[in-house]
Amino acid sequence: MAMLADYYVPGLYVQDHSIEVPLDWHGHVPGQGFDGRHLALFYREVCAPDRIHDDLPLLLFLQGGPGGASPRPLSPDSDGWIAEAVKHFRLILPDQRGTGRSSHVDGSLIGAMEAREGAWYLKRFLADSIVRDFEHLRRTQFAGRQWVTLGQSYGGFLTLSYLSLFPDAIAAAFTTGGIPHVPADATEVYEHTFPRMQAKTERFYARYPQDRARVAALADKLADGGEQLPNGDPLTVERLQTLGSSFGMKPSFERVHWLLDGAFAAGDGTADASSPIADDFLADVVTATASHPLYWPLQEFIYADGELERPIDWAAQRVRDTMPQFSVDARPLLFTGEAAFPWMFEQERALQPFRGAVDLMMADTHFGKIYDAGRLARNDVPLQAVVYVDDMYVDSTLSLDTLAHVGNSHYWATNEFEHDGVHGGKVFAHLYRKALDRGDLAALQ
């Protein structure tokens, strides 16, 4: 295993590594040689400084997303689960293909391709390929040794894919806020999530009632057009609504409230559609609505499982069109959440290069198989999930329905945390103790 670098950050020892994986896994088997185009898969090994030479069990972290790179810890406590995990494991933190220091995908790369080639290429960055990358890593760099997995958000989707495709690779699995519905259906997902987006907005306005008028004044001003963000994108009412994407995280209500507080430049900043919009506010909107390059292009395709009965066809937009309360003209203005819309690929410069490829994918019905319901029903790998009852992004009723059909699965349902609860110090420690008490980790002791 070629090591690129090793070093310390406070409280952690880190090694950087990279291996090659096929761009297209069709016709290739993880752990074996391959030919043709390849990608770099970058990963880090992390452990406590006093455990460098210990033979620790391995924990593979499956990052949320889509399009998210692995954590870059500042210390064990900078990402709460790490402080607990390094007490027991050597952590494997891969940058999923297309992210971080793995072969990167962005608008400049996809924009240089014809739309059909771009669609073909992007389809190689979904769960069926990601899981095979990790299985290739396990077989080639860790001698086929079983590992424990921890899947956050989309990482929970990857967990069920891994259990479907290579269950023998996993000794035990943890998921935090990321159990998808099986069978997968993007339209069903948004039929459940849009009502929660509305409820979150109503809770926001109930907490900060002064922001109801402030947002309305902003929307009225933006409806006239002409406002531009520092990155050159137009600031439209639709873009303003996407500030709600963070409402499933704490303390997002407060972050959005204080962002809105500085929206107007005139006088004492009182909400007034005739007032200029503050430059600082425009800069903050860019930061608040930015995402990883693959996040919006792949957002709806994480629900594409094998041969589809119908194309995805912009599922979030189709559901939104049935709900006039989300109109840009509605007042009070409702915020939207984790949902990709066609206008994003017209208005946002970072996403414009993806438009042709994404349009083709929206009309496609041929995707890689990511779940095996029969194998999941027979699953004997211990799976411990935390289900956040009020999760804005992953519907808890759908998650619980899935878990009812996954063998050897256990769950902890709680409304104490939002979708990002794993980043605190309690969630993973609780899951670990539960698994330990049941004997699910006995083989690792």
Return mean pLDDT, the chain.
96
Same-domain check for residues 8 and 142: yes
Has this prediction a pTM greater than 0.95?
A: yes
Same-domain check for residues 216 and 299: yes
- What is the amino acid identity at position 156? G
- Find, among 7, 92, 79, the residue nearest to 41 by Cα: 92
HEC-encoded secondary structure of 37-73: CEEEEEEEEEECHHHCCCCCCEEEEECCCCCCCCCCC
Same-domain check for residues 16 and 146: yes
Same-domain check for residues 235 and 177: no
DSSP-derived secondary structure letter, 442? G
**CA distances (Å), 422 to each of 391, 427, 441, in order?**
13, 5, 20
* pLDDT one-digit tens code per residue, 257-316: 999 999 999 999 999 889 999 999 999 999 999 989 999 999 999 999 999 999 999 999
Choose one of 306, 338, 362: the last residue of a domain. Answer: 362
- What is the amino acid identity at position 349? R
DSSP-derived secondary structure letter, 263? -
Choose one of 308, 336, 362: the last residue of a domain. Answer: 362
Backbone torsions φ then ψ of 415, nearest 5 degrees: -110, 15
- What is the amino acid identity at position 151? G
What is the SS3 assignment for 77?
A: helix
The residue assigned the tokens 């903050």 is 284
What is the band of 83 on the pLDDT scale with cuts at 50, 70, 90?
Answer: very high
Same-domain check for residues 218 and 335: yes
**CA distances (Å), 188 to each of 28, 193, 361, 427, 444, in order?**
33, 9, 19, 28, 39
Q: What is the CATH number of the domain that holds 160?
A: 3.40.50.1820
Same-domain check for residues 61 and 192: no
Q: How far is CA 247 from the centre of its chain?
A: 14
Number of neighbours of residue 227 by Cβ within 10 angstroms: 18
Report the pLDDT value the prediction gives residue 60, as an integer from 0 to 100: 98
Which structure tokens are listed for 336?
A: 């939207």
Helices 210-223 and 252-261 pack at an angle, to 10 degrees, of: 60
Domain interval for residue 331: 186-362
State percent of the chain over pLDDT 90.
97
Same-domain check for residues 248 and 149: no
**Rg for the chain, CA atoms, rounded:** 22
Same-domain check for residues 349 and 416: no
The answer to whether the CB of 203 falls within 8 A of the CB of 319 is no
Specify the number of domains making up the chain. Answer: 2
- Find, among 318, 368, 352, the residue nearest to 118 by Cα: 352
Same-domain check for residues 128 and 203: no
Same-domain check for residues 205 and 132: no
Same-domain check for residues 205 and 348: yes
* pLDDT one-digit tens code per residue, 177-227: 999 999 999 999 999 999 999 999 999 999 999 999 999 999 999 998 889
Report the pLDDT value the prediction gives residue 133, as an integer from 0 to 100: 98
* pLDDT one-digit tens code per residue, 326-380: 999 999 999 999 999 999 999 999 999 999 999 999 999 999 999 999 999 999 9
Q: How far is CA 44 from the centre of its chain?
A: 19
Which alpha helices (DSSP H) does 150-276 contain, by range? Answer: 154-165, 186-207, 210-223, 237-241, 252-261
The answer to whether the CB of 36 falls within 8 A of the CB of 22 is yes
Choose one of 321, 342, 362: the last residue of a domain. Answer: 362
Same-domain check for residues 111 and 227: no
Q: How many CA atoms lie within 13 A of 206 on its CB side?
A: 6
